[in-house]
């Protein structure tokens, strides 16, 4: 009798799995027939109607829970609607999980898509799969940090160097082109970290000789670590005039540090958005920030993938844009669009 209980439970497990999938299965079910017909469509295109030509483009990002990636997803979905393509959006839970991203890329290739959009965690590790895609005639486009490979012909991303240079100009303007400026950057290895650091530091050094840049500290984009780093800088440089945080986590750290040390006269400039930063700008503790256009990144990535599938050539680098925002313009529609909480 006990055994039948166990067996019964086993059945529940299996059924539960089925049910667990069911509400979702309904959605893929509508896709599935289209997807099944897609390969057949090449053989019997005239026989079937337009739905058979549905184009499928998987998007593999560097994350999915983060607000930023959700905004990218939104843009991708918008482009999918405009170009009438089917998309899926996936990314590993943490940016260290290189192998999990490879699994996603593999699963995406198994579905024989028309094109793939990829933001690689490690371009080299992706190489064999990129080669597989090339051999199968599936174009791959890069987005965000892109893919460093000759197989990937185009990348839709923010010009981070130029964006950080704009932050530097704004900083100089706000502190009167004179005094000490510090910055917290998320890391010294990723392209976004390097470009934002160099864009900010070099612009200040070249254009504003009276501004002294305090050596860069890195906080791994972690709120707590960035806080410690920012506090150390402020303690060592009590006369600091301005502070720049190169991503959401870095700027959160600077805001914490300023709060904990009760230094109200420092001009703070941030990067990206997020609720913390937006509230701080509204309250006036942060002067303003540069925002990327994550919605644009997602949109342009799908657009480029679609064009690549159609055989059109894309430029090597598609700038997806960036904007300066502060208290005065953050409620205008064009800025509000690209901010996320």
Partner 1 sequence: MANTISKNDSKVVGVPKKSLFSAENLQKFLAFGALMILLLFFTLASPFFLTFDNIVSITLSTCVNGILALGIIFVIITGGIDLSIGTVMTFSSVMAGVTITNMGMPIWLGIIVGILTGTFCGFLSGTLVSRLKLQPFIATLGVMMITKGFSLVLSGTKPIYFSDTPSFRQITAGSIIKFGAEGKYSIPNGIFIFLLMAVIAAIILNKTKLGRYNFAIGSNEEATKLSGVNVVKWKTAIYALCGAFAGVAGIVMAARLDSAQPALGQGYELDAIASVVIGGTSMVGGEGTILGTVIGAFIISTLTNGLKVMGVAQEWQIVITGLVLVLAVLLDTLRKRGNK
Q: Which is nearer to partner 1, 108 or 117 (CB)?
A: 108
**Total residues interacting with partner 1, rule: CB under 8 A:** 52
The backbone torsions φ and ψ at residue 93, rounded to the nearest 5 degrees and listed phi first, read: -70, -30
Residue 225 or 241: the one with the smaller Cβ distance to partner 1 is 225
Beta carbon of residue 86, minimum distance to partner 1 (angstroms, whole number): 9
Among 44, 128, 210, 341, binds partner 1 (CB under 8 A): 128
Closest to partner 1 by CB, 56 or 208: 56
Task: Single out the residue of 106, 235, 329, 332 in contact with partner 1 (rule: CB under 8 A).
Answer: 106
Cβ 90 to partner 1 shortest distance, Å: 5
- CB closer to partner 1 out of 5 and 283: 5
Strand pairing class (217-218; 211-213): unpaired
The tokens of 209 are what?
């000789």
Q: Which residues pair with 55 in a beta bridge?
A: 85
Are 272 and 72 within 8 A, CB to CB?
no
Q: Which stretch binds partner 1 (CB under 8 A): 110-118, 176-184, 240-248, 280-288?
A: 110-118
Distance of closest approach, residue 302 Cβ to partner 1, in angstroms? 16
Nearest distance, CB of residue 107 and partner 1, angstroms: 4
Shortest spacing between CB 226 and partner 1, in angstroms = 16
Q: Which of 77, 122, 134, 148 binds partner 1 (CB under 8 A)?
A: 122
How far, in Å, CA of 220 to CA of 241, rounded? 24
φ/ψ region of 317 (left if φ > 0, alpha if ψ in -120 to 50, else beta) reads beta
Q: 110, 150, 239, 265: which one contacts partner 1 (CB under 8 A)?
A: 110
**Footprint of partner 1 on 6-25 (CB under 8 A):** 6-7, 9-10, 12-14, 16-18, 20-21, 24-25
Q: CB–CB of 229/254 below 8 Å?
A: no
Encoding tokens for residue 127? 């190489």
Query: Which is closer to partner 1, CB of 94 or CB of 332?
Result: 94
Q: Which of 51, 81, 124, 173 binds partner 1 (CB under 8 A)?
A: 124
Query: Is 162:322 a contact under the CB 8 Å cutoff?
Result: yes
Site string for partner 1, 81-100 (x = CB under 8 A): -------xxxx-xx-xxxx-
By CB under 8 A, is residue 70 in contact with partner 1?
Answer: no
Q: Is 48 a residue that touches partner 1 (CB under 8 A)? A: no
CB closer to partner 1, 135 vs 283? 135
Binding site for partner 1 (CB under 8 A): 2-3, 5-7, 9-10, 12-14, 16-18, 20-21, 24-25, 27-28, 31-32, 35-36, 64, 88-91, 93-94, 96-99, 102-104, 106-112, 122, 124-125, 127-128, 187-189
């Amino acid at each position: 009798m006990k055994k039948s209980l166990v067996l019964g439970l086993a059945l529940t497990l299996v059924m539960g799995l089925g049910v667990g999938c069911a509400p979702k299965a309904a959605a893929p079910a509508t896709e599935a027939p289209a997807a099944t017909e897609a390969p057949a469509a090449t053989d019997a295109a005239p026989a079937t109607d337009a739905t058979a030509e549905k184009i499928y483009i998987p998007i593999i990002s560097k994350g999915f829970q983060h607000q930023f990636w959700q905004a990218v997803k939104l843009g991708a979905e918008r482009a999918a609607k405009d170009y009438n393509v089917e998309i899926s959006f996936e990314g590993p839970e943490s940016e260290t999980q290189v192998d999990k991203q490879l699994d996603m890329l593999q699963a995406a290739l198994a579905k024989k898509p028309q094109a793939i959009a990829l933001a690689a965690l490690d371009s080299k590790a992706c190489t064999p799969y990129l080669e597989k895609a090339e051999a199968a005639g599936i174009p791959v486009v890069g987005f965000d940090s892109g893919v460093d490979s000759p197989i990937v012909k185009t990348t839709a991303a923010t010009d981070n160097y130029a964006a950080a240079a704009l932050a530097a100009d704004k900083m100089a303007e706000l502190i009167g082109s004179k005094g000490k400026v510090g910055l917290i950057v998320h890391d010294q290895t990723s392209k976004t970290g390097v470009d934002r650091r160099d864009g900010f530091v070099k612009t200040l050094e070249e254009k504003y000789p009276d501004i002294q840049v305090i050596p860069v500290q890195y906080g791994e984009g972690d709120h707590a670590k960035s806080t410690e780093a920012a506090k150390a800088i402020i303690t060592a440089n009590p006369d600091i005039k301005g502070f720049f945080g190169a991503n959401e986590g870095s700027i959160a750290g600077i805001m914490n540090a300023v709060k904990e040390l009760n230094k109200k006269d420092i001009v703070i400039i941030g990067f990206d958005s997020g609720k913390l930063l937006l509230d701080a700008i509204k309250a006036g503790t942060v002067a303003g920030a540069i925002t990327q256009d994550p919605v644009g990144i997602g949109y342009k990535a799908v657009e480029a993938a679609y064009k690549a599938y159609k055989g059109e050539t894309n430029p090597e680098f598609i700038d997806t844009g960036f904007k300066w925002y502060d208290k005065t313009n953050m409620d205008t529609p064009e800025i509000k669009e690209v901010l996320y909480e």
